Amino acid sequence: MKCFNKKPKKKIIFIMMLVISVFSLTGCSFKEFSDKFNDNFIKEQRYKYILDGLGNTFIITILAGLIGVFLGFILAVIRVTHDKKGSLKILNLVAKLYLTIIRGTPVMVQLMIIYYVIFASVNINKVLVAVIAFGLNSAAYVAEIIRSGIMSIDVGQFEAGHSLGLKYSTVMISIILPQALKNVLPALANEFITLLKETSISGYIGLSDLTRGGMIIRSITYEALFPLLLVAVIYLVLVVGLSSLVSKLERSLKKNER
Amino acid sequence: MKDNVIIHTEHLNKSYGKEVVLEDINIDIKKGEVIAVIGPSGCGKSTFIRTLNLLEKPTGGKIFFDDICITDKKTDIYDVLPKMGMVFQQFNLFNNMTIEKNITFAPIKHNLMSEEEAKAKAAELLERVGLSDKGNAYPSQLSGGQKQRVAIARALAMNPDIILFDEPTSALDPEMVNEVLNIMKELARGGMTMVIVTHEIGFAREVASRVLFIDDKGIKEDGTPKEVLDNPKSERLKSFLDSVL
């Protein structure tokens, strides 16, 4: 991705290439293209399926991301504290079990279990179910990312803190975590991007996310290519945009310290 | 404190699993002493100094600091540790903080000083180690020698009763060794109690008031630099001195 954000010129070329390749994928003349575009998206305000879906995708991704970071953070600190100090034995066992189960099963299965089993008898907002499912799933991956970040910090930083009489929690919060988070920021952002794409399975519990919006249009117009292509392009633009934001952030962090 | 003893160990033992590193260490460290700890690599001298401030938990025996038994589980070691500074081989400055913050962070956390007092103290210490202009720099912008001087300033900011030096010049380029040693000499002249694990025999002879030779899990010789360095009793120490000089 990096090569696309260095110079604005390259960005423009990239977008033009994208437009041309999308157009050529449809394999029709300009007239046909505009007819089909009209039929799929404009007529009866069908674009609303896409927009509403996009809204849900955003909500799910952002809230699940927040849950993931918050819970992942706690899991990571539990695991590291146990490894470094030998305390929190039971919590560590719970965390380990959690990570094994979540990372060892497909997110789609987790989503369906949460919807069809855990919340089976409750009338609950589907978006909320998706937020919980993806949040819990993401937490496991975030936990491992943050843990690897903490483990990558030289043990000397802990020792220096100890030698100054600083408590473990102070050292962790003020010295270790800021450095660890900075190191894993790209990995965390990648996890967020993965999460955004993974929410596309929300349709399996009948939730109208971006992907399902496209599928609804397809079921109306019996035309798969246009709606799905638009859905794909929207995901792509979001991911490329997020990636370039992350690399900007990375660069400014580097400037600040090193 | 009897006879100005600041650190006192009784039958101190340290082992990693089955491997015994230190065995039955009994020593009194008095106020104002500058102790050089020498010995072949892997003899346990770093482990010795690191057990004194509990970076390594002793597997047996007791350590007293100011007559407080710090190996006792009931003792709050966070009351005692601020009085024991430490300078590491790898400097271990906090990479996410400016030089000034590195120095002021712990004193402020311990409520030893207000933020203004801590900043004034940091400025004074930075001037003392010749780095007045580096307060806003980050550790990564400094050379090894400069980092180590900051590390010493950071230890001094706590107004410690003793500073432990764990091979403070071993990770430095040769031309930077002296800038660090000079500051340590100045500290010694100022009456600071210091325990220094070092390979710089010349420095030990010049600055130390007492030299410990650690070998084979214990303190094998203990005396003034003259006694230990110039008139070694054991063959081991003789051959060690021959090999490093």
Higher-pLDDT residue of A18, B13: B13
Considering only the beta carbons, identify the residue of A159, A165, A178 that sits closest to B82. A165
CB < 8 Å to A164, chain B: 81-82, 85, 105-106, 154-155, 158
Q: Is the pLDDT of residue A4 over 70?
A: no
The confidence band for B203, taking pLDDT boundaries of 50, 70 and 90, is: very high
CB-CB under 8 Å, B86 with A166: no
Per-chain mean pLDDT for chain B? 92
Per-chain mean pLDDT for chain A? 89
pLDDT of residue A224: 85
The confidence band for B124, taking pLDDT boundaries of 50, 70 and 90, is: very high
The residue in chain B having the minimum alpha-carbon distance to the alpha carbon of residue A180 is B96
Per-residue pLDDT tens for A20-49? 887 777 777 778 878 888 887 888 888 888
**Closest Cα of chain B to A3: distance in Å?**
28
Mean pLDDT score, A68-90: 93
Phi/psi zone of residue B19: left (φ > 0), alpha (ψ -120 to 50 degrees), beta? Answer: beta
CB-CB under 8 Å, B96 with A179: yes
**Closest Cα of chain B to A243: distance in Å?**
25
CB-CB under 8 Å, B88 with A164: no
CA geometry: angle at B54 spanning B53 and B55, to 5°?
A: 95
CB-CB under 8 Å, A257 with B138: yes
If you ran DSSP here, which 8-state letter would residue A102 be given? Answer: H
The residue in chain B having the minimum alpha-carbon distance to the alpha carbon of residue A182 is B96
Considering only the beta carbons, identify the residue of A167, A175, A258 that sits closest to B94. A175
Per-residue pLDDT tens for B159-199? 999 999 999 999 999 889 999 999 999 999 999 999 999 98
CB-CB under 8 Å, A159 with B138: no
CB-CB under 8 Å, A178 with B86: no
Q: Which of B95, B164, B170 to mutate to test the interface with A (most CBs of A within 10 A)?
A: B95
CB-CB under 8 Å, B90 with A156: yes
The confidence band for A8, taking pLDDT boundaries of 50, 70 and 90, is: low
Per-residue pLDDT tens for A194-235? 999 999 999 999 899 999 999 998 998 898 888 888 899 999
Question: Distance (Å, rounded) from C-alpha B151 to C-alpha A161?
Answer: 12
Please report how the helices A225-257 and A177-198 are oriented relative to each other, as an axis angle in degrees rounded to 10: 170
Element (H, E) at B223: strand B218-223
The length of chain B, given as a count of residues: 245
Mean pLDDT score, B216-232: 91
Q: Which of A85, A154, A164, A257 to mutate to test the interface with B (most CBs of B within 10 A)?
A: A164
Are the CB atoms for B151 and B87 separated by under 8 Å?
yes
Question: Distance (Å, rounded) from C-alpha B20 to C-alpha B217?
Answer: 7
User: What Cα–Cα distance (Å) separates residue A37 from each residue in A41, A51, A223, B156?
Assistant: 6, 15, 10, 73
pLDDT of residue A1: 46
The residue in chain A having the minimum alpha-carbon distance to the alpha carbon of residue B138 is A257
CB-CB under 8 Å, B95 with A163: no
Question: Is the ipTM beyond the 0.85 threshold?
Answer: yes
| Residue of A106, A69, A108, A68 whose CA lies nearest to A200 | A108
CB-CB under 8 Å, A164 with B95: no
CB-CB under 8 Å, A182 with B109: no
Q: Which of A87, A158, A163 to mutate to test the interface with B (most CBs of B within 10 A)?
A: A163
**Closest Cα of chain B to A163: distance in Å?**
6
Are the CB atoms for A64 and A199 separated by under 8 Å?
yes
Write the DSSP string, B36-79: EEE--TTSSHHHHHHHHTTSS--SEEEEEETTEETTSTTS-HHH
CB < 8 Å to B88, chain A: 156, 159-160, 163
Q: Is the pLDDT of residue A2 over 60?
A: no
CB-CB under 8 Å, A154 with B140: no
CB-CB under 8 Å, A164 with B154: yes
CB contacts < 8 A, A to B, total 68
In chain B, % of residues over pLDDT 90: 84
Q: Is the pLDDT of residue B225 over 60?
A: yes
Q: What is the pTM of this model?
A: 0.84
